[in-house]
Chain A
Amino acid sequence: MPFVPHTEQDVRDMLGVIGVPDIETLFDEIPAALRCGELNGVPEALSEQQVSRLMSRRAAADGEPLCFIGAGAYEHHIPAAVWQIVTRGEFYSAYTPYQAEASQGTLQLIYEFQSMMTALTAMDVSNASLYDGASALSEALLMAVRSNRKSSSRRVLMPVNVHPAYRKTAHAIVTNQDIDLVEVAYDPLGGHTALDSLKAHAGEDITALVIQQPNFFGVLEEVDELTDWAHANGALVIAVVNPVATALLKPPGRWGTEGADIVVGEGQPLGVPLSSGGPYFGFMCARQQHVRQMPGRIVGRTVDRDGRTGYTLTLQAREQHIRRSKATSNICTNQGLLVTAATIHMALLGGEGLRRVALACHANTRALVEKLGNDYIRPRFNRPYFHEAVMSSALALPRLLRPLYAHNLQPGYELAGDYPELADCLLVCATETKTEDDLNLYRDHLARVIEKQTSAGCPVQPKMA
Chain B
Amino acid sequence: MNETPDDLKYSKSHEWVRVNDDGTVTIGVTDHAQAQLGDLVYVEVPDEGRELEAEEACAVVESVKAASDVYAPLAGTVAAANEALADTPEAVNNDAYGDGWLIRLKPADAAAVNALMSAAEYQAFVESE
Contacts and interface: CB of A to CB of B under 8 A. Distances in A.
Given A149-B47, A292-B42, A317 B69 contact: no
A292 B47 contact: no
Nearest to A149: B47
A318 B67 CA distance: 6
Contacts of B62: 292, 317-318
A326 B69 contact: yes
Interface residues of A, number: 7
Interface in B44-98: 44, 47, 62-67, 69
B47 A317 contact: no
A396 B84 CA distance: 65
Nearest to B42: A292
A402 interface: no
B66 A323 contact: yes
A149 B45 CA distance: 11
Contacts of B66: 317, 322-323
Nearest to A291: B42
Contacts of A323: 66-67
Interface string A356-385: 000000000000000000000000000000
Interface residues of B, number: 11
Contacts of B41: 317
Contacts of A322: 65-67
Nearest to A292: B42
A61 to B, nearest CB: 50
Interface centre among A149, A317, A318, A322, by most chain B C-beta atoms within 10 angstroms, is A317
Nearest to B62: A317
Contacts of B64: 317
Interface string A309-328: 00000000110001100100
B50 to A, nearest CB: 10
Contacts of A317: 41-42, 62-67
Interface string A3-41: 000000000000000000000000000000000000000
A100 to B, nearest CB: 14
A318 B47 CA distance: 21
A270 B40 CA distance: 38
A317 B64 CA distance: 7
A323 B63 CA distance: 12
Interface in A277-316: 292
Contacts of B67: 317-318, 322-323, 326
Interface in A147-166: 149
10 contacts: A292-B42, A292-B62, A317-B41, A317-B63, A317-B64, A317-B65, A317-B66, A317-B67, A322-B66, A322-B67
**Shortest beta-carbon contacts, A-B, top 10:** A317-B67, A317-B62, A318-B67, A322-B66, A317-B66, A323-B67, A292-B42, A149-B47, A317-B65, A317-B63
